[in-house]
C-alpha cells in the first residue's frame, strides 16, 4: 500500500526540484534569492546546502539577464530551471522569452532547441498590490513555441517539473501564490505526472466548470455549493494552458451541455475568451445555453483586502454564473 504523507504545495514543489537535481547533473536552478535566502516563497529552502552554489545560483536583479543566461545554457545542453519572482516581473524578460526562447528552434531550422523551464508565481489574494498580483499566464499561452503549465494540486506541484524538463521546448510553470501553504496528503512515492491532458477533478452532469491554477479551488467549492442547490457540476482542471487539451473540455461539454469558465485573468482578450471560442467552434450544437465567464475585474489589482476580494472571482460569482446557464 502506498504511504501517504502530509505536505504543502510549497514542499511538493521543493521535492520536485530536489528530485530533478538529484537525477540529472545537467539540471541547475538560478534566480533572485534562490540560494542563501531559500527563494522568495521558500520553495528552494535548503537546496543550496544540499547541492552547492554551482547548482543553486543566486543571480543579480535583472530578469532579462538571467533568463537570457538560462536560454544560453539550455542551447548548450544544460537543463536550467529559472525562477522569476512574479509574473509581473517576467515582463522585463519578455523579449528573451518570446523572441529567443520561443523562436530559436523555428528560426534555426530545427538546429537549436531550448529545453528551458521558467518557474514563476502568479495570481492575487495576498494583498501584494498591482505590481505583484496579476494573472498573465494567458498572455504567454498566446505565444507559439512555449508550453504553459499551471499546477493546482499537490500531485501536479510535485510532478509537473519532471515532464517540463523532459520537453525539448521551453516550458513556463506558473505557481499560484495563494497555493503555497495549501496542505494535503501526497503519496510518498509521487513522481512525474502527465502534462499533456486536462483532468476532470469532479464528475457532474448538469454544468461544466472549467478552471486552472488558483481558481480550481474556487470551482470545486462552487461545485459543492451547487450540489446543495440540486445542480451537479463537473470540474475540469486545464493543467496545461498551451497546448490546450480541447478533447477533455469538449467531452465534458457534451456531457453537461452547459459551461462556466473561471479565469483569474482579465476578461478582455483572456484565456477564457479562447476557451469559449473553441467550445463555440467545436461544440456549438451541444450547448443548451451560452457559455458563461467569471473573470477578474478589469482594474489594476487593488491593495486593500476588501477591494482585492471584490476584484477577484469568488465562489458566489461562479455559482451565480452556473445558475444563469439553467435559465
How many angstroms separate the CA atoms of 80 and 173, rounded? 13
Question: Where do the CATH 3.40.50.970 domains begin and end in the chain?
Answer: 4-187
Gyration radius of the chain's alpha carbons: 20
Q: Could you tell me the pTM of the whole model?
A: 0.96
Q: Which of 15, 19, 32, 63 is catalytic?
A: 63
Residues paired with 236 in a beta bridge: 200, 210
251 is catalytic: no
Class of the domain covering 199-325: alpha beta
How many angstroms separate the CA atoms of 319 and 229, rounded? 10
Question: Where do the CATH 3.40.50.920 domains begin and end in the chain?
Answer: 199-325
Tell me the DSSP string of 272-327. Answer: HHHHHHHHHHHHGGG-SSPPEEEEE-SSPPPSSHHHHHHHS--HHHHHHHHHHHT-
CB atoms within 10 A of CB 204: 20
For residues 89 and 63, the answer to whether their CB atoms sit within 8 Å is yes
How many angstroms separate the CA atoms of 306 and 323, rounded? 25
Per-residue CA distances from 147 to 20, 112, 165, 166, 171 (Å): 19, 17, 11, 12, 5
Q: Tens-digit pLDDT profile for the chain (327 aa)?
A: 789 999 999 999 999 999 999 999 999 999 999 999 999 999 999 999 999 999 999 999 999 999 999 999 999 999 999 999 999 999 999 999 999 999 999 999 999 999 999 999 999 999 999 999 999 999 999 999 999 999 999 999 999 999 999 999 999 999 999 999 999 999 999 999 999 999 999 999 999 999 999 999 999 999 999 999 999 999 999 999 999 999 999 999 999 999 999 999 999 999 999 999 999 999 999 999 999 999 999 999 999 999 999 999 999 999 999 999 997
How many angstroms separate the CA atoms of 163 and 239, rounded? 13
How far apart, in Å, do the first and last CA atoms of the chain sit?
47
Residues paired with 90 in a beta bridge: none
Q: Among 3.30.565.10, 3.90.1150.10, 3.30.460.90, 3.40.50.970, what is the CATH number of 4-187? A: 3.40.50.970
In sequence order, the 6+-apart residues with CB closer than 8 A to the CB of 268 are 298
What pLDDT is recorded for position 51? 98
316 is catalytic: no
Burial class (CB in 10 A: 0-12, 13-18, 19+), 50: exposed
How many angstroms separate the CA atoms of 263 and 298, rounded? 12
Q: Which of 132, 134, 137, 308 is catalytic?
A: 132
How many angstroms separate the CA atoms of 313 and 125, rounded? 10
For residue 235, what is its C-alpha cell? 470540474
- H or E element, residue 217: helix 215-228
Amino acid at each position: 500500500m502506498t504511504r501517504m504523507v502530509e505536505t504543502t504545495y510549497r514542499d511538493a514543489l521543493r521535492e520536485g526540484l530536489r528530485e530533478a537535481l538529484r537525477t540529472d547533473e545537467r539540471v541547475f536552478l538560478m534566480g533572485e534569492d534562490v540560494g542563501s535566502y531559500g527563494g522568495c516563497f521558500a520553495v528552494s529552502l535548503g537546496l543550496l546546502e544540499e547541492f552547492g552554489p554551482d547548482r543553486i545560483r543566486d543571480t543579480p536583479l535583472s530578469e532579462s539577464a538571467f533568463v537570457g543566461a538560462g536560454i544560453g545554457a539550455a542551447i548548450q545542453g544544460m537543463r536550467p530551471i529559472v525562477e522569476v519572482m512574479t509574473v509581473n516581473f517576467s515582463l522585463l524578460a519578455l523579449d528573451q522569452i518570446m523572441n529567443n526562447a520561443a523562436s530559436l528552434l523555428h528560426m534555426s531550422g530545427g538546429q537549436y532547441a531550448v529545453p528551458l523551464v521558467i518557474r514563476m508565481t502568479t495570481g492575487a489574494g495576498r494583498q501584494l498590490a498591482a505590481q505583484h498580483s496579476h494573472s498573465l499566464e494567458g498572455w504567454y499561452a498566446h505565444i507559439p513555441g512555449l508550453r504553459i503549465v499551471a499546477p493546482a494540486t499537490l500531485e501536479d506541484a510535485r510532478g509537473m517539473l519532471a515532464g517540463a524538463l523532459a520537453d525539448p521546448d521551453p516550458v513556463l510553470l506558473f505557481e499560484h501564490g495563494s497555493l503555497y501553504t495549501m496542505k494535503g496528503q501526497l503519496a510518498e512515492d509521487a513522481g512525474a505526472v502527465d502534462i499533456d491532458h486536462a483532468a476532470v477533478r469532479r464528475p457532474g452532469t448538469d454544468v461544466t466548470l472549467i478552471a486552472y491554477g488558483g481558481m480550481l479551488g474556487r470551482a470545486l467549492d462552487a461545485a459543492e455549493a451547487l450540489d446543495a442547490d440540486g445542480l451537479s457540476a463537473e470540474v475540469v482542471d486545464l493543467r496545461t494552458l498551451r497546448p490546450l487539451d480541447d478533447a477533455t473540455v469538449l467531452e465534458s461539454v457534451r456531457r453537461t451541455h452547459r459551461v462556466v469558465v473561471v479565469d483569474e485573468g482579465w476578461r478582455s482578450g483572456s484565456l477564457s475568451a479562447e476557451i469559449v471560442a473553441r467550445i463555440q467552434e467545436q461544440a456549438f450544437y451541444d450547448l443548451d445555453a451560452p457559455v458563461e465567464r467569471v473573470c477578474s475585474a478589469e482594474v489594476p489589482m487593488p491593495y486593500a483586502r476588501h477591494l482585492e476580494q471584490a476584484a477577484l472571482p469568488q465562489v458566489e460569482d461562479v455559482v451565480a454564473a452556473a445558475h444563469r446557464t439553467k435559465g
